Amino acid sequence: MAITYRGEKFSGYNKPKRTPKHPNKSHAVLAKEGSKVKLIRFGQQGVSGAGKNPSSAKQKARRKSFKARHAKNIKKGKMSAAYWANKTKW
């Protein structure tokens, strides 16, 4: 079920994909909540998050800082870039 939205192909709703050719953002997702659909770009190009299992103390601190800094926006749900960045990169 491929979906084309504004000339960009997505494998489905709420399925993030990498965008290596985009100048600024590393990922994009076609978010859908109810009948509302929105294209969300997120993540700084070239920067990797600490991941789900950070190995060093520095990586753990980065992950904790990101989650604390964006907690308010992550709570907004699927229609926010912070939610997807948290789910995909952190």
Average pLDDT over every residue of 28-55: 93
- What distance lies between CA 36 and its chain's CA centroid? 18
| Mean pLDDT for the stretch of residues 30-46 | 96
Average pLDDT, the chain: 94
What percent of the chain is modeled with pLDDT above 70?
100
- Two tokens, residue 5: 């939205």
- For residue 49, the model assigns a pLDDT of 83
Give the pLDDT band (50/70/90) at residue 32.
Answer: very high
Contacts of 30 (CB under 8 A, 6+ apart): 3, 5, 10, 12, 13, 14, 15, 37, 38, 39, 40
